[in-house]
Amino acid sequence: MHELAGRPALVGRRPLLRRIWAYVELTKPRVLELLLLTTAPVMVLAQRGVPDLWLIAATVTGGILSGGSAAAFNMYLDRDVDARMSRTANRPLVTGEVSPRAGLTFAWALAVASTAWFLITVNLLSAALSGFAIFFYVVVYTVLLKRRTEQNIVWGGIAGCFPVLIGWSAVTDALSWSAVVLFVLVFLWTPAHYWPLSVNYRDDYRAANIPMLGATRGARHVAARVAIYAFATVLCSMVLIPVAGMGLLYSMVIVASGSWFLYDASRFYWQTRISDAAGDVPMRVFRSSITYLALVFVAVAVDPLLHLTL
């Protein structure tokens, strides 16, 4: 009897849970993971220890709201091209699980909530940086660059660098050269991370008429530029050692992870010298770039706590 009585309630809950998850999908949770990966470690470095846990929670919460808002605006504006790409054809605004009006309202609500949250719980500088990051991703990248130039991800990727500045400003209510170096590191990393993915999904981008580099150029051209940006990223990570006074652990991690990242990037390049059909190598670079960034920022957090010096 209890089992039979419970079934209608369970069935009734499923559409609600699916609708909630559709709104979660609007925030691009996988992208949020990468953005937040760069926030908390920077706060530890800025503090040179563990910041107040409430401040970390408040900053991360604000980052989730801010990043989710930018992603929702992006899905609203790109719903026409998303429908033409197999990789994005199941997004909620394409399938109709969320209406365009509801998606736009949701995006604005998150933008207002994130700004207010940062103002109330963190500080004015973090709120301003968060608001500008949303503006940059939505207006500069999505509206102005994405459909017009193959350099879209280079300059549009600046929006993804702001969590570094937000994390630093949350602790210090200011910015420093250490924060700038980390900002540039993420800026240089972004093309090396995303361009291999664009090679893998080149047919999607061509179908949607989006000039991602992997769709407009051959794999050899892309691989050469991925190698250049990967090298510049690793070099930038070394600049943090004198600027922020990083110690032995950080130095060891960037050498090891950087060597791995550069190996995969160079392998991508040499593979395309043999054949423009790069096989699964681009996705290896894509995955290794994520691992590289994760290891670097874990080292950014742990190194100050261990107080190891060269």
pLDDT tens digits, residue range 18-65?
889 999 999 999 888 887 889 999 999 999 999 999 999 999 999 999
Token representation of residue 195: 């361009």
pLDDT score, position 15: 82
Contact predicate 198/87, CB 8 Å: no
pLDDT 10s digits, 222-233: 999 999 999 999
Mean residue pLDDT of the chain comes to 91
Lowest mean pLDDT among 2-6, 42-46, 239-243, 251-255: 2-6
Per domain, the residue ranges of the chain are: 21-175, 176-310
Residue 1 predicted with pLDDT over 60: no
1.20.120, 1.10.287, 1.10.1220, 3.40.50: which CATH number matches 176-310? 1.20.120
The top-level CATH class assigned to 21-175 is: mainly alpha
Distance set, CA 152 to CA 61, 66, 79, 88, 145 (Å): 28, 21, 18, 18, 5
| Torsion sign across C-alpha atoms 75, 80, 83, 86 | negative
> For the range 301-305, what are the long-range contacts, defined as Cβ-Cβ under 8 Å and sequence gap of 24 or more?
301/40, 301/41, 301/44, 301/45, 302/249, 303/45, 303/246, 303/247, 303/248, 303/249, 303/250, 304/44, 304/45, 304/47, 304/48, 304/49, 304/247, 305/44, 305/49, 305/50
Q: Compute how many other C-beta atoms are within 10 angstroms of the C-beta atom of residue 87.
A: 14
pLDDT digits 0-9 by tens, 170-224? 999 999 999 999 999 999 999 999 999 999 999 999 999 999 999 999 999 999 9
